[in-house]
A and B are shown apart, each in its own frame.
Chain A
């Protein structure tokens, strides 16, 4: 997939050769349990003992850390400032004169940041180590509707083309005197002349594309063979089953501990 657009990083690692559904199962377990379990230390423990070691094993740790930093930092700062300092009626633990840091706010901020980190971390580890088209093939082999698999793969392939087209239209309209900087009203005026040509232009080849894939037996109800072969080790099935059971238990426990 030379032109496709995803976070996937090809590396020589034992994790990369795992079946995509195994990786999906792992990521789903980390993500769901990280968000469900109401213990403030749990997401951080998952990060330290599961996500980062997995990323290191997959040789994507630097990429992971870089993207987590870029995504999570604005949220962390906002949460800490807003919920930490503006928590109504909390117990202050640090007084800075104009505002004071509240204990409840700080605890909430730490819990929030933990959830943000585990969610972004698990999701990113998965996308960094899994080729989207291989994932779609694996899902299709498990009964995923081929139309859905087509949609996802096609989208990932055409996004770069769309971004290029959007930039072309931006340049073309600018060359014709469209204001794209300046005050808000000027920029807002530029929205329609940019958006409408982009959309109308992209709809032109929808019909042709539909004809093209129809001519290649797209909607014919037959089992399609794949060019790519995916390998799966015996123990991966057991691992996925174990993870599913474990996740069900963790979810049940999370619900029970919140009710009791």
Chain B
């Protein structure tokens, strides 16, 4: 396990605000385009690959909190812990060299999305009454209509979006890391995990 202080050197500290801004800007863009995905974790996964799981976790945590702070998307603030776990998992997958091939990155994203959906369900159920206030609530309604509990219905809604969303995000990060010059990547503490095999 690398030295934690090395993970949080100056370049990482400069990268994190940029990554959070990427999360928010891309998330807003995707929402404006009307695509049924979030794509608000790309920055988180990128930091996790380049600077380790803890830096990734911090990025995720702060993204949701700051997003709420700006008033653009207050509803995401309670899910800060889930975003942190996404960063943590992405970093762990990167440590296991899963970002060296595209299909492993995709699989890592799917698994992360599943775990994210499982963690989001209780938060959504308790804080937001088990609904999202958007079109995906038809899924919740569908399951509730057939007698499912609040938690399973919310989880079902999460399953339809989170795994795909995280799989796409992991894939985009894999693409980006391949496109980045080694001169840039080498400055980051976890550059080896981003290298092509």
Q: Does A190 contact B (CB under 8 A)?
A: yes
- Are B25 and A156 within 8 A (Cβ)? no
B11 with A78: CB separation less than 8 A: no
A203 close to B (CB within 8 Å): yes
Note all chain B residues with C-beta closer than 8 A to A35.
Answer: 126-127
B120 CB to closest chain A CB (Å) equals 15
Residue ID in chain B nearest A170 by CB atoms: B29
| Contact of A86 with B145 at beta-carbon distance under 8 Å, contacts A77-B133, A159-B70, A195-B42 already known | yes
Given A75, A165, A218, which contacts B25 in the complex, CB threshold below 8 Å?
A: A165
Range of interface residues on A (Cβ < 8 Å): 35 or more
Complex alpha-carbon distance, A116 and B187, angstroms: 43
* Size category of the binding interface on chain B: 35 or more
B179 within 8 A of A: yes
Interface with A: B14-22, B84-92, B108-116, B189-197, which one?
B14-22
Within 8 A of A (CB), among B10-66: 10-11, 13-18, 20-22, 24-26, 28-30, 33-36, 39, 42-43, 46, 58, 62, 66
**A interface: dominant SS:** helix
Q: Do B180 and A203 touch (CB < 8 A)?
A: yes
Measured between beta carbons, the chain B residues less than 8 angstroms from A113 are 129
Q: Is the CB of B62 within 8 A of A152?
A: yes
A88/B130 contact (C-beta < 8 A), A162-B24, A200-B176 known? no
Classify the interface of chain B: helix, strand, loop or mixed: helix
- Distance (whole angstroms) from the CB of B71 to the closest CB of chain A: 4
Which chain A residues numbered 146 to 186 have a C-beta less than 8 Å away from chain B?
Answer: 147, 150-152, 154-156, 158-159, 161-163, 165-166, 170, 180, 184
| Given A78-B133, A116-B127, A166-B29, A155 and B147 contact (CB-CB distance below 8 Å) | no
Q: Is B103 an interface residue (CB 8 A)?
A: no
Q: Is A59 an interface residue (CB 8 A)?
A: no
B33 touches A5 (CB 8 A): no
CB-defined contacts of A158 to chain B, threshold 8 Å: 17-18, 21
Q: Is the CB of A159 within 8 A of B24?
A: yes
| Interchain CB contact under 8 A, B33 and A155 | no
Stretch of A45-53, A209-217, A224-232, A242-250 at the chain-chain interface: A209-217
A170 to B15, CA, bound (A): 23
Whether A6 sits at the interface, judged by CB under 8 Å, is: yes
* A contact set with B: CB distance below 8 Å: 5-7, 35, 67, 71, 74-75, 77-79, 81-83, 86-89, 108-109, 112-113, 115-116, 119-120, 123-124, 127, 132, 147, 150-152, 154-156, 158-159, 161-163, 165-166, 170, 180, 184, 187-188, 190-192, 194-196, 198-200, 202-203, 206-207, 209-210, 213-214, 218-219
Known: A87-B144, A158-B21, A166-B26. 17 other contacts (CB 8 A): A35-B126, A78-B132, A79-B129, A82-B131, A112-B128, A115-B129, A123-B68, A154-B14, A155-B16, A161-B21, A166-B25, A170-B29, A187-B34, A195-B39, A203-B184, A210-B187, A214-B10
